[in-house]
Chain A
Amino acid sequence: MANLTSDQATQLSDNFYSLAMAIGDFRYENWDKLSFEENKELSETQNMLLQTGEDILAFSTTLIMDETIDSLAKINSITGEIQDSIKKLNSIQKGLNVAAAILLLGVAIVNRDTKGIGDSIKGVYETWQAPIL
């Protein structure tokens, strides 16, 4: 037998709701004709129909999950790719900072500035190690 779909479950829930309403209307229209026991029994049935309809509606929601599992996985994967692209764009700023640090190192080398070379190497290293924001 084929599995119940969420749409079918929602439709079933609608049917339970309509039945519960119909029983309620019947009770109120025939209130004086019904014995206490008959009325009580109908009231319990009406209540059970309402509860079952509510449960089916909640169940229908869980069925949606199974029906959309592929779409959920696809969107999660695309979101991951978008985040990767954003990280790549952020790392360009780091590249700019490293380039500036390397330029200072180059200047220090050209000028044969021993202390400047040491400082610049440290600067390049620190810039490179800095976290990507």
Chain B
Amino acid sequence: MNKYLLKSRLTLILFALSIVGCVNLKSVGDFSASSIESIKNFEQIDYSFLQHCLDRCAEEAIRLYEIKRAQECSCALYEEADSVAQVFYNTIGGYFEGLGLLSQNELTNYSSEALIGALTTQEVGPLQIDERTASAFSSLSNTLLRASTDFYRRKKLAKYIEEANEPIQVLLEKFEVIVSTNLKGELRFKRERLYAYYMDMKMSRTVVSEYEKGQATADYYQALGEIKRKEMELAVFGKSLAEIAKGHQVLYENRNELSVKSLQNLAKGYSSNIKGLISEFKKLNH
């Protein structure tokens, strides 16, 4: 076959394959990345069930004016609640990390340097292959490989998203309940205990001087403000979980069109909402 004809056909095939092979799984990758970043904020939350229990013990000791050599505090139930939250965090995080890895293009950027080297540095039988032709062959094989692995990834991702949607929706919803209802709910009790402590102080008239009254009021509102900040932090984290659930639902509904532009825009919207909540969380956390 004419050498130039071979080259031009190779170029044409390469061009066609590069279009087919250029599967864009960016929507899944970007969404997974922002979901992971948001879920990881769980580690930044400066409150836990155990912390709540320890705080309660300290507050009780203050209320009853109890001075002991060591604080006696039974918090087994609260530690168990924390371990449940940790299981949810690990399970949900692990799933999105896997999804993100499988959708990364870097995964199928294979290096064919070894193959080019093998084709050019030695004589292949009676033929001597020049470097440009070797590169073209290598590029062709890489594109073919990429097309088949991208197809494989799309197929697998669609399958996993389909199978995971129902359980991940349940887990995200329940994780949100653990954080936004239960852990945040504990803070409501802390708030009420604080109110009772300062109200008892006021009603018993144990604070006499104007300065002490002012100081006590300032202390109360400062402590209240701190509780409020933690409540907001937990609420924002909970909102981001709800947003992740919505985004995953969109991926599920479009699982067979993972490379379609409209899905990319849709998923981008959810990623952007999640990023907004991440930023809000960080502001509250620092």
Contacts and interface: CB of A to CB of B under 8 A. Distances in A.
Contact of B189 (A10, A53, A61, A110): A53
A107 B174 contact: no
Interface in A15-69: 17, 20-21, 24, 28, 31, 43, 46-47, 50-51, 53-55, 57-62, 64-65, 67-68
Nearest to B50: A58
A94 to B, nearest CB: 10
B126 to A, nearest CB: 8
Nearest to B190: A54
A17 B85 CA distance: 23
B49 A58 contact: yes
Contacts of B119: 103
Contacts of A70: 167
Interface in B153-192: 153, 156, 160, 163-164, 166-168, 170-171, 174, 177-178, 181-183, 185-186, 188-189, 192
A90 interface: yes
A50 to B, nearest CB: 5
A72 interface: yes
A13 B63 CA distance: 23
Interface in A81-133: 81-83, 85-86, 89-90, 92-93, 96-97, 99-101, 103-104, 106-108, 110-111
A61 B89 CA distance: 14
- How many chain A residues sit at the interface, stated as a range, is 35 or more
- How many chain B residues sit at the interface, stated as a range, is 35 or more
Interface of B is mostly: helix
Given A24-B192, A103-B115, A65 B84 contact: yes
Contact of B149 (A59, A61, A89): A89
A79 B222 CA distance: 44
Contacts of A90: 107
B73 interface: no
- Residue picked from A21, A43, A58, most chain B C-beta under 10 Å: A58
Interface in B34-76: 49, 52-53, 56, 60, 63
A83 B102 CA distance: 8
Nearest to B145: A92
A33 to B, nearest CB: 12
Interface string B189-213: 1001101100110010000000000
A90 B80 CA distance: 39
23 contacts: A6-B177, A10-B177, A50-B193, A57-B185, A61-B81, A62-B81, A67-B174, A72-B88, A72-B171, A74-B164, A75-B95, A76-B91, A78-B160, A78-B164, A86-B101, A86-B102, A96-B115, A96-B145, A100-B115, A106-B124, A110-B124, A111-B122, A111-B123
Interface of B: 49, 52-53, 56, 60, 63, 77-78, 80-81, 84-85, 87-88, 91-92, 94-95, 98-99, 101-102, 107-108, 110-112, 114-115, 117-119, 122-125, 145, 149, 152-153, 156, 160, 163-164, 166-168, 170-171, 174, 177-178, 181-183, 185-186, 188-189, 192-193, 195-196, 199-200, 203
Lowest 10 CB-CB distances: which A-B pairs, in order? A82-B98, A100-B114, A71-B167, A61-B81, A107-B122, A74-B167, A71-B170, A103-B118, A58-B81, A100-B118
